[in-house]
Amino acid sequence: MRAPDFWRRGGGPLGAFLTPLGWGYGLATRLRLAMANPFKASVPILCVGNLVAGGAGKTPVALSLGKRLMDQGRKVHFLSRGYGGSQAGPLRVDPDSHWAVDVGEEALLLAAAAPTWISRDRALGARAAADGADIIIMDDGFQNPSVVKDLSLLVVDGGFGFGNGRMIPAGPLREPVAPALGRAGALVVIGEDETGIASRHDVLASGLPVLKAGVEPGPEAEGLKGNPVVAFAGIGSPEKFFDTLGRIGCDVVAVHAFPDHGPYSAGDIRHLKTEAEERKAALVTTEKDFQRLPENERDGIRVLTITLQWADEASLDAVLRPLFDD
């Protein structure tokens, strides 16, 4: 989902008005966590989660960690809820036969890298994903109490932070910050730490390592640089994608933000292609959005991929090392 403006710092009168509902949301989360009887998988589970609703960069972090561990010889399986897809699972994702409407676009991206399972019941999914794996990387699910996480990394957008610090619906928080930090093994701050996450009192008091990473555009950037583009995206923070296109030197002549995880109609695509043709511009979207496009509408649409670059790989390896200690 996309964060409303009042979820950012301050919150305004609407945030204050909704605060009592946020208290109720936070209480429900704490009760759900306290009453759980979680399933313990036969292999370690590394959870990549966050504290706020909306996009923070969890899937790029999960993919980066998976590649890193596979390069070290580990057998990685991914586990996703399959958000946006119709299948409940447990189901192993087949990129050749499944579509985003079946399993969600994030699961398709994960499945292109390593065996991936979707399951709305995370415990059943973890049981299935453990077969043949050395480790399960769970994309999202930090607030899901049904499985034991051996290590949880909390991903934070450096530009958004924890927003106005209030609970849903008064703010973006899924649960209070302090108890969440107590269940985490590290914070991952994506981009510049504009909101001062690393220096917050509760973060300092928790003693958690703060890992920093940046998003870098893929090799397609060179072919887009200097050219006019019409950009569209239906992700948690589409403005970050549009800013990236500007940063690599594109002439961004028009941008279109669509609902996060929402489907694209044939009419949407026709309108976008017509505009790009009239402006003599390339039509560009994200890798996640491309997965949601109908196959017969993909021609003529270019994709800008992203990769994650870690500021301190030694610190990252130190955080991951206890997962495999005997």
Pull the structure tokens for residue 25. Answer: 């949301």
Vertex 101: Cα angle to 98 and 103 (nearest 5): 55
Strand arrangement, sheet containing 116-118: 91-92, 116-118, 76-80, 135-139, 45-49, 151-157, 186-190, 210-217, 306-310
Digitized pLDDT (tens) for each residue of the chain, 326 residues in all: 566 778 877 667 887 788 888 888 888 887 888 787 899 999 999 999 999 987 778 999 999 999 999 999 999 999 999 988 899 989 999 999 999 899 999 999 999 999 999 999 999 999 999 999 999 999 999 999 999 999 999 999 998 899 888 989 999 999 999 999 999 999 999 999 999 999 999 999 999 999 999 989 999 999 999 999 999 999 888 888 999 999 999 999 999 999 887 888 889 999 999 999 999 999 999 999 999 998 888 999 999 999 899 999 999 999 999 998 75
Domains, the chain, in order of start with CATH, read: 5-215+309-324 (3.40.50), 219-304 (3.40.50)
The answer to whether 191 touches 223, Cβ cutoff 8 Å, is: no
Exposed, middle or buried, 322 (CB in 10 Å: 0-12/13-18/19+)?
A: exposed
